[in-house]
């Protein structure tokens, strides 16, 4: 009897040891993958193409705009920021669709947000102002809105929000104030807590028992790091978190995630803004002139005539194919 009990006890210890080793191995594998995450170029291309496919799903030809999100806001269309970002994200992949979005934004005076221009080679008035939401057009089955940071007062505690710090840093960068740009960028970098950017928005959310991290801020930081040539010491971890939020079903980037779970858990719907910013983080390179078709007033007569003719061609060819044979 004693020998039999000893054998059972020994077997339990062996099973416990094996279980412990399996658990430790799983943790080590997860830890190694997290700290050494790096997509190959081919894998990155595939993921970005899936993200582009998501934007194509969001695009509504009748309105020439991308909707906000497929489930929570399929009938809401934002000029800024969603379509301002989507226009740039789509440009390298689908220039014709990108142009239709651009023309729609131009026609609706939607190329200005006083915030996201900083991604595309322009500065904005600092400190960044509070935003005002404008309803541009409203019908029973859809609404078009835009956000513009043109309030008379500055955004309260603007330097405690990662996104505003990053956009402010880029604005200073385009003005030639590299020291100031890096100072603000480094402050945003300091908000990384191993899971995401813990800024005032997260702290305020935790007061409401939410505490979810925002995906788009990871893409913003990654983009600014490339533009400012300021490498991120935690880039592998950041990219690991970022790409965990990509939805398998349609390629969209989910807006929020719970950083307290292992692995992290995407929460909510994917949307145009977050997905566009992710594409921009990897593929967009700004020039001194951020828009493909600059304001007519800034060009000589010949350039104005040429740009206007090209605009008319796109409007006729892309919007009214039956008239595309007309002489312009």
Inside any domain, residue 257: yes
Do residues 276 and 319 share a domain? no
Q: Residue 320 falls within a domain, yes or no?
A: yes
Is 15 part of a structural domain of the chain? no
Q: Is the dihedral of CA 57, 293, 119, 152 positive or negative?
A: negative
The answer to the question of residue 1 being in a domain is: no
Q: What is the pLDDT along the chain (328 residues), one digit of tens a residue?
A: 555 555 556 666 655 554 544 444 444 334 444 456 689 999 999 999 999 999 999 999 999 999 999 999 999 999 999 999 999 999 999 999 999 999 999 999 999 999 999 999 999 999 999 999 999 999 999 999 999 999 999 999 999 999 999 999 999 999 999 999 999 999 999 999 999 999 999 988 877 777 899 999 999 999 999 999 999 999 999 999 999 999 999 999 999 999 988 889 999 999 999 999 999 999 999 975 444 443 333 333 444 444 454 455 444 444 443 333 333 2
Claim to verify: residue 160 and residue 304 sit in the same structural domain: no
Q: Say if residue 152 is in the same domain as residue 90.
A: yes
Listed in sequence order, the residues at least 6 apart from 53 whose beta carbon sits closer than 8 Å to its beta carbon are 250, 251
Per-residue pLDDT at 7: 55
Q: Are residues 98 and 237 in the same domain?
A: yes
Would 3 be classed as within a structural domain? no
Are 169 and 116 in the same domain? yes
The SS3 call for residue 137 is strand
Task: Say what angle helices 2-35 and 235-244 make with each other, to 10 degrees.
Answer: 100
- Same-domain pairing of 256 and 169: yes
pLDDT value, residue 207: 75
Q: Are residues 167 and 262 in the same domain?
A: yes
pLDDT at residue 58, as a whole number: 98
DSSP class of residue 268 equals: E
235 and 319 together in one domain: no
State the CB neighbour count (10 A cutoff) for residue 111.
20
As for how many domains the chain has, the answer is: 2
Rounded to whole angstroms, the maximal C-alpha distance in the chain is 104
Distance CA 305, CA 311 (A): 10
Q: Is the same domain home to 234 and 312?
A: no
DSSP string, 213-253: EEHHHHHHHHHHHHHTT---TTHHHHHHHHHHTB-TTT-PB
Residue 263 lies in a domain: yes
Task: Give the domain range for residue 141.
Answer: 39-292
Residue 14 lies inside a defined structural domain of this protein:
no
pTM of the model as a whole: 0.80
φ/ψ of 73, rounded to 5, equals -150, 60
At 261-311, the pLDDT tens digits run 888 999 999 999 999 999 999 999 997 544 444 333 333 344 444 445 445
284 and 316, same domain (yes or no):
no
pLDDT score at 308: 52
CB 66 within 8 A of CB 132: no
Q: Which residues contact 85 (CB under 8 A, 6 or more apart)?
A: 116, 119, 272, 273, 276, 277, 280
- What is the pLDDT, as a whole number, of residue 90? 98
Sign of the alpha-carbon dihedral angle for 212, 215, 217, 221: positive
Cα radius of gyration (the chain): 24
pLDDT at 12: 61
pLDDT of residue 209: 72
- 250 lies in the same domain as 313: no
Q: Are 309 and 164 contained in the same domain?
A: no
Cα 255–chain centre separation: 9
């Amino acid at each position: 009897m004693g020998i039999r009990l000893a054998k059972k006890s020994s077997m339990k210890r062996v099973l416990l040891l094996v279980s412990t080793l399996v658990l430790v191995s799983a943790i080590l594998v997860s830890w190694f993958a997290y700290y050494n995450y790096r997509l190959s170029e081919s894998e990155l291309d595939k993921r970005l193409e899936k993200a582009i496919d998501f934007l194509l799903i969001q695009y509504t030809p009748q309105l020439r705009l991308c909707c906000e999100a497929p489930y929570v806001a399929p009938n809401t269309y934002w000029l800024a920021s969603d379509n301002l970002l989507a226009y740039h994200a789509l440009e390298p992949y689908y220039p014709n669709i990108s142009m239709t979005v651009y023309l729609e934004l131009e026609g609706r005076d939607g190329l200005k947000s006083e915030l996201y221009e900083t991604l595309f080679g322009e500065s904005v008035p600092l400190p960044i102002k509070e935003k005002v939401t404008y309803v541009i057009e409203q019908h029973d089955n859809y609404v078009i809105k835009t956000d513009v940071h043109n309030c008379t007062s500055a955004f309260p505690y603007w330097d405690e929000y990662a996104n505003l710090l990053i956009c402010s840093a880029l604005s200073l960068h385009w003005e030639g104030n590299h020291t100031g740009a890096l100072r603000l960028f480094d402050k945003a970098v300091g908000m990384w807590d191993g899971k995401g950017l813990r800024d005032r928005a997260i702290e305020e959310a935790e007061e409401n028992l939410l505490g979810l991290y925002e995906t788009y801020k990871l893409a913003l930081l990654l983009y600014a790091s490339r533009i400012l040539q300021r490498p991120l010491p935690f880039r592998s971890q950041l990219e690991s978190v970022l790409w965990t939020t990509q939805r398998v079903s349609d390629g969209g980037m989910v807006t929020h995630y719970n950083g307290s779970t292992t692995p992290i858990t995407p929460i909510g719907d994917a949307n145009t803004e977050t997905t566009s910013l992710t594409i921009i983080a990897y593929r967009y390179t700004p020039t001194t002139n951020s828009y493909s078709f600059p304001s007519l007033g800034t060009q000589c007569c010949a350039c104005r005539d040429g740009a206007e003719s090209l605009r008319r061609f796109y409007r006729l060819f892309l919007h009214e194919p039956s008239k595309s044979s007309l002489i312009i």
